[in-house]
Structure 1
């Protein structure tokens, strides 16, 4: 290894460890369900994005196995050559129905969606108004587009309107886009989409909502745009297929001409092999299940409300989450890491979230209850939280 590279890596890794910012990665031994095994120990899992428990659903396993037997384990090519199977077409038709749009396009990941869609439409002659707490994939997608990035204060509609007016009246930009998460993953709050749409109409902004943590969770499962009844008002609806849907991949839903454009101009679609047949079949069935019944959605919210109420009663600071995402905000990064480690030792797997994922001084342990958790599991988790919280002086 280059001496200068070796010195750079060692120095900076040590600095991260000293500041409590180095993330240790644990291997899950088996399925990622409500109970997981790490280093041979059974733990109540409160760190998974598997909101509806579909990642381990028996019906979806069988659907995936059947598709593998019929289509093989891989798609064999990029979508534009001969990697588009009838399975992909069926999935995209189902996604459009799910999101209430004319069409949809699927990608290999939610991250890919934002890298693909933003840069396919926006360029150096354009501007993007971006919420300060938007996901890293949105930030990177904006950077890739080379458009002027104008950050507005988190969910501050006065600041958004001021900056939209300035951008529009400057005459410097051909197009202006406003981008927001539908549900903000670190705090669990919901974007003010009705107000954003109002501002967008006033200044002719392109509207872009990344609903990675809303699809399957808000709007009776159909997402945050549906929650507000704005399917006809949002230009880009982005979603992941790896969280509530339980498999892998992502999608963009919108007008047919938008999707047609992304099929010929979005680079991850053009240059990455298509999602595997087994995954596509499982995703399609998962979306159908969400559309057919709200049972899993309702159970998720019941469990989320139960855990949130329990943690608040114990005296934990849980922020202003409007969704099942429940942060326990500790503040100090080292204490946050210590808190998470003690939870694991006592039987709860809940990861520490620190800078750069969240601002410095706002370290938290983020809890993700799912539809698969039982009340007994959540009660056990709350008892452990109380024990560790008192031990470390986080609660009295």
Structure 2
């Protein structure tokens, strides 16, 4: 060993090349560098490609476990539902019994109205049942155009567009105007249909706390600060709210929302499914209620299955807003158009409201009476606005979770039906992001008599008392 070490040092220890002294370690480093470069330029090992045999394919298929298409179906997801044996009016037949109906959003009591039925029968005789085609493909019938004109005239907007499915109205309208990269600031209590539209738009969604204008302005300020920091190109920006929230019965403070949207340069979309035919001295919705020009709302959507006792939905606003949807609204372009007799039903409902606005007074008197009768019921609190026909009854105190509260409230609703009062508990899908508490959703109608309201609330008091014992 000593001999080799002496030879190494003797040969290289004092070697000088062009004035550079070389040591033995430098040779080792050079060799390592050459090896590394050689390995880097070598082709990676590629196993010989060959098709899988039938046996290997069968083995892979046998070992594969697919992801479930949906969550496991539990008993809570498939409860028994009462079946109506009559029109869904203020009272209904269930299992041969007459029941007070506080579950149907028949706000003006027009379901089963003989005048609407007569107009629908005439339309059925003339056009048949369905249009059998989208609006742009031979599915447009003159009554569709008549209804669009009627809605615009009633609300004071330039133009309107019909959708054949109420839930698809907002879900089609929002993606028609908002795309990836756009910004939408929405109330975190909006309904599932609006949530679906937000998701389909692929926009950047920022939620603010339910009906909290301080939280809304905080979100708007965040967007402005981000603009100043990143200096991004201008994109489309919307505030999305409901006039009366389906999940809470709260009324949106439109004046403050309009002020903020103008201050921060946003557009405003308001869903009026539960406020058209309800708010305002003549039922023209939230803009009339707050005495704000309807032009301050850029886009208005609404379902017609509530106050108008029909089906489908509409969007109304400027001519540009409507014309854009005739080519970009998925529910308009690709769905069969609204059955003609349903368009006639909505026209008749608007005419009835215009001819007799006193129906609004009956509705609001019934709402006030319902609130008064339940003002002293222990274990229940009313979470809704006194102007809303959608009344949410929440447990007080809560049991700690949506599902626990919903199960307890369902037991109350089941017992109410045994006493001939039909109510319903809020239902939410696994995809619903609304975090508001569970509640019994009560729908007040102008068609209810004072006796109906007093009897139903008396039964609820009795059931709540029995639950505490």
Normalising by structure 1, we get a TM-score of 0.92
Query: Which residue of 1 is the match for residue 18 of structure 2?
Result: none
Report the alpha carbon displacement of residue 320 of structure 1 after superposing the two structures with TM: 4.1
Give 2:126's aligned residue: 70
Contact residue 107 and residue 249 of structure 1 kept, 8 A: yes
Structure-to-structure mapping, 1:8-27, within 5 angstroms: 12-14=72-74, 17=76, 23-27=79-83
Which structure has the larger Rg over C-alpha atoms?
2
Q: Mapping of 1:1-396 within 5 angstroms?
A: 12-14=72-74, 17=76, 23-171=79-227, 172=232, 174-220=235-281, 221-228=283-290, 229-315=292-378, 316-322=380-386, 323-330=388-395, 331=398, 332-353=405-426, 362-393=437-468
CA contact (8 A) 1:99 1:226 kept: no
Does the Cα contact within 8 Å between 2:308 and 2:345 map onto a contact in 1?
no
Structure 1 residue runs of 5 or longer lacking an equivalent are none
> Are the structure 2 counterparts of residues 105 and 193 from structure 1 closer, same or farther at C-alpha, using a change threshold of 3 Å?
same
How far off its partner does 1:41 sit?
2.7
Q: Tell me, what secondary structure is at the counterpart of 2:375?
A: helix
1:81 positional shift: 1.7
- Secondary structure, in 3 states, of the residue corresponding to 2:217? helix
* CA drift at 1:363: 2.5
SS of equivalent residue, structure 1 residue 13: coil
State the Cα distance separating 1:358 from its structure 2 match: 9.0
Deviates more, 1:375-384 or 1:325-334: 325-334
Moved more, 166-175 or 230-239: 166-175
- Aligned equivalents of 2:203 and 2:84: distance in 1? 40
CA-to-aligned-CA distance 1:287-332 (integer Å, 9 cap, x gap) = 1222232121111111111111101133431124231322221242
Distance 2:157 2:65 in 1: 52
SS in 2 for 1:130: strand
| Count of aligned positions | 387
Change (3 A) 1:159 1:24: same
Q: What secondary structure does 2:270 align onto?
A: strand
CA drift at 1:119: 0.6
The answer as to whether partners of 1:327 and 1:366 remain within 8 angstroms in 2 is yes
Cα distance change on mapping 1:334 and 1:103 into 2, 3 Å:
same
CA deviation vs aligned residue, 1:116-150 (integer Å, no higher than 9, x gap): 11111110020100000011111110110110011
Q: For the residues of structure 1 that align with 2:384 and 2:130, how far apart are their CA atoms?
A: 43
Structure 2, unaligned runs of 5 or more: 1-63, 399-404
Cα 1:6–1:132 change in 2 (3 A) is closer
Poorly superposed stretches of 4+, deviation over 4 Å: 3-9, 354-361
How far apart, CA to CA, are the structure 2 residues paired with 1:370 and 1:296? 10
Q: SS at the partner of 2:439?
A: strand
* Mapped partners of 2:306, 2:277: distance in 1: 8
Q: CA RMSD in A?
A: 2.2
1:190–1:361 Cα change, 3 Å: closer
Three-state SS of the structure 1 residue aligned to 2:309 is coil
